[in-house]
Amino acid sequence: MGAKAAAKQIVKSMNGIKEEQKEKTSEKSCTIDTSQSYYLSKSYCKINNNKRKIKLLRSKLFGSATDCVTTFQLRYPREAKDFSKKKQCLQERYHGGDSRKIYLTEYNNCIRNPGKSIRDYACRIQKLFSFAYPTKEGKWVDLEMREQLIMDKFWGD
């Protein structure tokens, strides 16, 4: 699976967390006695919801996304306690233009390693090309041109 699949899984997980949060509102689990206890219970529920969201997110991540979150936690332990900061970190990593630049560089520098099969090399070129030059829904794409570019790279032209 590539970074796009991981990004889709992350977005799917975050949407699931939002849906779960809507279903389980803090009013159901916290009782209201006085205005002060109401405020304290709200802040307590917010802390617990934040921790639960972080736990749920970590359980849904895999591969490089897990590494990204782990690195963020080690480098910024104070910010890592906030779910929105982790979400922002993942969005910057997987939805930014930097990842496309990385794949473009990898695609341009891709060579067949000695001892690796030709089929693996072809698959790697196709995968890197699809990440380096993503297609947008609703836009016309010349598939023959894309295939020709991949073939040119494969043959080393």
Q: Please tell me the predicted confidence (pLDDT) of residue 83.
A: 80
Q: How far apart are CA 82 and CA 90, in angstroms?
A: 13
Any residues with CB less than 8 A from the CB of 116 and at least 6 apart, and which?
Answer: none
Local confidence pLDDT in tens for the 157 residues of the chain = 466 666 666 666 666 665 555 555 444 444 444 555 555 555 555 556 777 877 777 787 778 778 888 888 888 888 888 888 887 777 777 766 667 788 888 888 888 888 888 888 888 899 888 888 877 777 788 888 889 988 998 888 5
Show the tokens assigned to 32.
Answer: 């209201």
Contact at 8 Å (CB) between 93 and 42?
no
Number of residues in the chain: 157
pTM of the model: 0.40
Show the tokens assigned to 91.
Answer: 């969005």
Residue 47: strand, helix, or coil: helix
Q: Please tell me the predicted confidence (pLDDT) of residue 12.
A: 67
117 membership: H or E segment, kind and range: none
Q: How far apart are CA 63 and CA 43, in angstroms?
A: 33
